[in-house]
Structures are given as structure tokens and as C-alpha cells.
Amino acid sequence: MRWWRRLHDAQWYVRWLVKGAAVGITLLLVTFPYPHLLVRNMQRWRNPNALIEPAAPRLQPMVRELRDQLTPSLPPRRTLRKVERYVCERITYAWDWDTWGVADYLPTVDEVLDAGHEDCDGRAVIAASLLRALGYKADLVSDFAHVWVRTDKGELMSPGKRKSIVASDRRGAQIRWKTLSNLPRAMAYGVSPFPLWRELIVLTVVWLALLRPGIGRAYAAVGALLLIEGLLKLRLGGHDWRHPILWLQLVGAMEMVAAFVLLSAAGRRAASQPSSGPPVPEA
């Protein structure tokens, strides 16, 4: 392919700009094939509490049903557990790519009720709305991997250990920068349940971006194998967001780095040889 060779004859920054753009566009299309949902999601995460709607008309039957089940003498902690159980029974769990076709989406009350199923953030929006309708002060909280509800009487919807994003009506989403260490764990968890076929598309484009003319088939095959093994270990190690297998995730990440180093070194070796010379011996 002449265009492929011309690309690799260009300056290194042009080459990597083109390849980086290809990987970035692929990643965007795989994770957010509907760009308008990405824009909407980013806007909503600026102030997640704006999605809490205790007076939403379609929520009122649920509010009345809950009030009938609650008694004035019921302790607040038991009320929170009852609301949590109620939401989990009526809003079945489903990943965002199954519901919306994208990697992440923060829905409104009506969107959750229309779908009838949602993941942690949609359930948290419903739970917070119900609690406010019952007179509780409820806010949305996230550790980057999970979203739950914080109230003045406790937390519910499977609260995490560290709060990375805390929402308030007045100030919107506040990021606690000291908890950025949660981000790698959250990203590893995001890799685990995401559809494997989508990840393989991104991985294939990354692999192609690391190749260059003259790389031996053996190097290309070993690089592909390391990338796939690394991805599978990341998925397995991050399957449980509460108790990730850190050593397995580390091994997976190291294998992917090793693939990058191997293919980069093989590419430099191939580029250093005259174009008219014999092919690079395969290792």
C-alpha cells in the first residue's frame, strides 16, 4: 500500500499525529457511536443533582407506594434500606451500552422510567428523587466507577469507600482531586464489563498503528498476542469493582506496554534498513 509507505516516510510527528487521530476517532466511535449522547452526558455531569426530580409526575405513583410502606416510627437507616431495595426491584440493572448504546450516560428520571432498566447512575437518580420527595436531603456521589446516594442520614445504593465526585445543587459536581488515585481502578473496571468485540476493534487499530513497513510477521504476531493477553487480564482482574485483582491488572498492563516496546523497536529496526535490501530476518 503506497499511502502506508508514504505515511512512514513522513516526519515522525506527522506519522504519529495521523495514527493518534485514527486511534482516537476509533475509540470515540466505539465508546460513543452517538455523539449527541456524549455531549449531553458531559453537560449533565457538570451538575448531576439537576437530574434529581422529586416532583416528576411519573415518579409520584412510586412516591405514594413507598409512603404506604413506611411508618413514622421507622428508623432512617431502615428507610434508606427500604428505598434502596424498592429501586433495585423496580429498575432492573443493565449496562449503558445495552440501554443507550454508549459507554456511559447519566439519564433523567423520565428516561430511566421509559427504559425500565439502568445501571448505577440511573438507579441513583431515581433513589435520590424518591428520598427528596420523602423529605430527605439527597445528593449524588461517585468514585469514578460507581454512583450512589448520600443523605443526611446515611448512604445507599451500594456506597463506595472514597468519594471522588460529590454533587450539590448550588455548586454542581465537585471533584476531590486527592482521590484521583481511584481513576485507574475505575478505568480498569470499565474495561472489564465493556463488550469484548468493541474493545478488540480498538485493540486492532492500536496494533495497526504500532506496525510499520518491514516489520517481520513474527514480531507483529507476538505484539498482537501480548495486546490480547493484556486486555484479557485487565478484564479478568477488574471484574469486581469492589475487590479488583490488582496483580493481574498490573500484569495485563505490563504485557500491553511490552507489546508497544516490542513493536516500536522492531519498527525502528525495519526503518533503519535500506528499502532495497533483503527483508528483516524474523526472530
Q: pLDDT means per 10 residues in the chain (283 residues)?
A: 81 90 96 96 96 97 94 90 96 95 96 96 98 96 94 94 92 91 80 91 96 91 96 88 83 95 90 59 46
- Rounded to 10 degrees, the C-alpha dihedral 80/166/133/151 comes to 30
Give dist(CA 33, CA 25) in Å, integer: 10
CB of 107 closer than 8 Å to CB of 96: no
- Map out the domains of the chain as residue ranges: 2-31+184-271, 35-177
Residues 6+ apart with CB under 8 A from 84: 127, 156, 157
Strands 92-93, 117-118: parallel, antiparallel or unpaired by DSSP?
A: parallel
Give dist(CA 147, CA 140) in Å, integer: 7
Task: Give Dmax (Cα) for the chain.
Answer: 87
Across the chain, what does the average pLDDT equal? 91
CATH number for domain 35-177, candidates 1.10.1660, 3.10.620, 3.90.930, 1.10.260? 3.10.620
Please write the tens of the pLDDT for every residue from 62-106. Answer: 999 999 999 888 899 999 999 999 999 999 999 999 999 999 999
Q: What is the pTM of this model?
A: 0.87
Give dist(CA 171, CA 46) in Å, integer: 9
